[in-house]
Chain A
Amino acid sequence: MTLDLAKTRVGHGGEGGALLTASGVGKRYATQAGHFTALSEIDLHLERGAFLAVVGKSGSGKSTLINLLTGIDRPTSGTIKVAGEAVTGKTESELAAWRGRNVGIVFQFFQLLPTLTIAENIILPMDLTRAVPAGQRRQRAMDLLSRVGIADQADKFPAMLSGGQQQRAAIARALANDPPLLVADEPTGNLDSKTAEGVLALFSGLAAAGTTIVIVTHEHDVMSLVDRTITLADGRIVGDTARS
């Protein structure tokens, strides 16, 4: 399945060049046992439309890295820029607004809000950022749901959908404001292999259409789909492989 983003893009598409730059990024946490370094000296450069997989063992720093890239956490050293804009140095409010417009996040456990219908979950980021005119939000949500293949589930609540359907809805929500960067944290970790295949195919289509995608995964099968794979160990990049 591929997405026709020409119909859904709202303002970031079409430009070439670097989308994400991380320079000397590090993260240390203060714990009772002393300081713990989760990430150290991470340098990363991603072009628009790149499809990157981040792999590594548990505790290698994968989640910390995506938390920093999405502005959910702040680095203790280094800088991160997305579409030329520095992520560091923003207030919580500024970060929230920035995330809403620039980053789509797909979580492992889908994390759809249970009191909103599927369509309303998709509309929520549009409401929050007002990136889409109010009158067009429902239609855009339906378009996105059609493209992930669950338009017929639009008015159901998340608990009424299967895991695969919920993850598709979560992807549609991540695309609501047509962000230039989409980050997925083990998006197939909770799905059966067939459903996981469908979800990964969605990501491939998105990347092909120009969305920059960073996917954290344990699944080695993904590597055949992505442009590039970096491997983390003990908070450092220990491998960086481009698909030939």
Chain B
Amino acid sequence: MRWIKLLRDVKAERGRTMLMLAAVGFALFAVTAMLASYGIVTREVTRNYMSTNPASATIDVAEVTPQMLEVAKTYPGIADAEARSVVEARVKVGGEWMRMLLFVVDDFVTIRMNLFQPYSGAAAPADGAMLVEKVAAPLIGAVEGQTIIIKTPHGPETAVRVDGMVHDTTLAPAWQEQSGYGYISRATLAMLGEAPDLGELRILVPGKPTQAEVDGIAMGLAEQLKASGFDVHGVKVPPPGQHPHGGQIAISLATFLSFAVLALVLAAILVAAVLAATLARQSREIGIMKAVGARSSQIAGLYAVFLLGLGVVSLAVSVPPGLWAAGQLSLLMADTMNFTIADFTPPTWVFGVVVAAGILMPLAAAAFPILKASRITVREAISSGGTATGSPIGIVAPLLTGIGVFGVSYVLAVRNSIRRPGRLALSIAMLATAGGLFITALSVRDGWQVMAANVLTDRNYDLELTFSEPVARSVIGEALTLVSGVETAELWGYEQAALTSAGAIDLMRTYPDGGHGSFAVLGVPEDMSTLDLPVRGGRWLEPDDTNAIVLGQGRHLKAGTEIGDWVTISVEGKPSEWQVVGFVRELGGGGAYVPKATFDKLYGAAEVGKMLRIRLAPGIDRDQAIEAIEAAFNAATLPVERSAPLTMLYEALVGHVEVPVRMIVAAAVLLAAIGGLGLASMMTVNVLERTREIGIMKAIGATPALVLQIVLGEAVTIAVLSWLVAIVVAAPLILAIGQLASGMFGSALPFTLPPSALALWLAIILVIAAVASIWPALRAARLVVREALAYT
């Protein structure tokens, strides 16, 4: 018979039951979506990466020879070895040049490591043609069967036909890197004007080796090769079995997951609150049941079964849409991070966790109120008058006595908002975390813009050009005679170099395509006037310097060098020794500064250079002048490799943080939406619990509009509190990120809390609060006084 009572209670209390169902269902939906997408994405990312048979390590050498390959293949612990190369080139897109990474493959048929999947067209390009990564194709305007213009550092502009598209799941999306990806043969590399040598020896360590094991084997091989007389530049060992963006993806999903768990905790608290209210309402019935023989365990069992049923129904309604959302989220991640999903089925453990959460969470949350209610004595239950005891707003009450000047209605809204500290803390935690992220992202962007603006003051030129070959000063002077408005044209020495400790082989934690650990060594002309970098340690170059070198702050820290240390720089395998005399803060490229006279002796010749910096006369139309200079150099057939106005450098620096900023802002808004749903649940329960109080207010003169205003005011109070906490959360985050920049660029990002960001987040959070509370507020406003007063 008691089960019939249970069913009828559920029917009679369907409003409260639906509310609990909605709270738990929403939380389970979020948990399912996040947990399942976490399971799917982490599994698929690893599968994608491992299916490419990634090299365990890459040894950079001058040229991989057959003999070297043989040594590597027979080296203990190595299962396979292969020669590859990556060449930095440029592709012409709509008249402008864009970065293009060319992956040089010895044989497209027998390729065994770092595989890429054919997507369309030919599986192997003909000599003189190339394959293009499918995501990069639209960025660089590559169309199958048509040609694109490629220029390598030492070759001419060459039209290369696109024979097919491939999907390379180990690369970051091209749009993110702003770089094209092409796959060519050695013959094509030669046709593009570069030596057809392969400079990367990729090795495969079988099984599931640890990082230390791979390090040991790769370094051992590198040392052996070096001892055998081979020119070894460095060793690159990425984290074994881990996709380049695996950690990033896992962190993103884990962050979302933690918010889903927060939503689950909030739902648990709401369930406990609603059930406690129901139990209080039914205390007399419980007393009567006990009076006729019910034991405490039977009473508790009754409500436990109700909660089990609630969990089962919540699971039934929330898991299917949760799985669908997980699929969509995984697909979005896959598109964003350039990998494919072969199987959308979540791992089995996901179902286990979700079912456990759905069944146990409501039960665990409501255990205390159930036990308390079931143990009530018949006398207590029958005589229960329902009067409140204890201070409703605890120790903070005295702190709020001063707010009465704003009106008692406002006092009510504020005090009601803090009445349930647990719920309030959770709601604020969710909204404030979102707000903290949002404010941090916009503040760091602001700080970065201020920092990036330094390039405009540190660099006193308008245009920087690099040449693929050294160009004589006289040739440049002649070409520039046709251009008006050039105030200064400074010829610099410029070479790509590697910085190593003398006699040691560098071990880098980079992926094969993640760069070469190389940087530029710049020969500074004696009368230089186009650069004024702030010195952070030691001094700038002086006229009498010969083997002195000034390093950028980031490079100094990375290399662990100090003033007075001697460093070895390798340019195309040719080492030279330099003494560090200073460190400078530099943004946007550069690397190591040495006197041009010494540079010329080592790497070039006097009166020639590979980099030109031009300052235009004041009042000149810069765009027109730059266009005229490029036209003049083209007419003179100068081998211009890159032409970069200073403003482009500034915009590139500013634009560089735009993608992460937007991603964080999007994440913050999503989290705020989850927080908003939590707030909506909380407000609904709050209004439900205060039904009688609202009835009293209406009985003594509160109009529906005023009740609406008070409930909205409560939500707005929570929103404003979360906004204040968000600022407190954001401040140390902004400082920490600013300090990170200090290590990279020589000075911390300026600490800013832009009023526009604070105002924008306040506006967003107020809208969310208004939307979240409008339904409960309307419900409160529409309460019938007679029914509200009779509510228990």
Contacts and interface: CB of A to CB of B under 8 A. Distances in A.
Interface string B668-689: 0000000000000000000000
A58 interface: no
B700 interface: yes
Interface in A152-179: 155, 157-160, 173-174, 177
A97 B785 contact: no
Given A125-B700, A159-B391, A159-B392, A113 B412 contact: yes
A101 B703 CA distance: 12
Given A115-B392, A116-B412, A100 B701 contact: yes
Contact of B408 (A70, A93, A123): A123
A73 interface: yes
Contacts of A177: 701
B412 A73 contact: no
B706 A111 contact: no
B699 to A, nearest CB: 5
B388 A159 contact: yes
A127 B388 contact: no
A99 B699 contact: yes
A128 B702 contact: yes
A53 B409 CA distance: 34
B387 interface: yes
Contacts of A155: 401
A117 interface: yes
B419 A70 contact: no
Contacts of A142: none
Given A116-B415, A127-B407, A128-B706, A111 B786 contact: no
Nearest to A93: B703
B391 A157 contact: yes
A127 B392 contact: no
A67 interface: yes
Nearest to A137: B408
B408 A114 contact: no
B389 A159 contact: yes
Interface stretch (B107-115, B315-323, B479-487, B690-698): B690-698
Interface residues of B, number: 36
Contacts of B76: none
A202 interface: no
A183 B392 CA distance: 28
B404 interface: yes
Contacts of B693: 111, 113-114
A150 interface: no
B698 A96 contact: yes
A129 B397 CA distance: 26
Contacts of A67: 786
B442 interface: no
A192 interface: no
A115 B387 CA distance: 14
B416 interface: yes
A72 B786 contact: yes
Nearest to B400: A115
B412 A115 contact: yes
A116 B408 contact: yes
B419 A99 contact: no
A23 interface: no
B789 interface: yes
Contacts of B68: none
A157 B397 CA distance: 9
Nearest to A105: B699
B696 A96 contact: no
Interface string B777-792: 0000000011001000
Nearest to B386: A109
A124 B786 contact: no
Interface in B387-428: 387-393, 397, 401, 404, 407-409, 411-412, 415-416, 419
B385 interface: yes
A72 B385 contact: no
A73 B703 CA distance: 15
A97 B707 CA distance: 12
B645 interface: no
A72 B408 contact: no
A241 interface: no
Given A72-B786, A107-B696, A96 B393 contact: no
A115 B415 contact: yes
Given A111-B692, A157-B391, A159-B389, A124 B697 contact: yes
5 contacts: A72-B786, A96-B702, A105-B700, A113-B412, A157-B397
Interface of A: 67, 70, 72-73, 92-93, 96-97, 99-101, 105, 107, 109, 111, 113-117, 120, 123-125, 127-129, 134, 138, 155, 157-160, 173-174, 177, 190
Interface of B: 385-393, 397, 401, 404, 407-409, 411-412, 415-416, 419, 692-693, 696-706, 785-786, 789
10 closest A-B pairs by CB: A100-B701, A115-B415, A128-B701, A114-B392, A93-B703, A96-B703, A127-B408, A72-B785, A111-B696, A124-B408
Given A109-B385, A127-B409, A128-B700, 11 more contacts: A96-B701, A96-B703, A97-B703, A99-B700, A107-B789, A109-B386, A113-B693, A114-B392, A120-B404, A123-B408, A128-B702
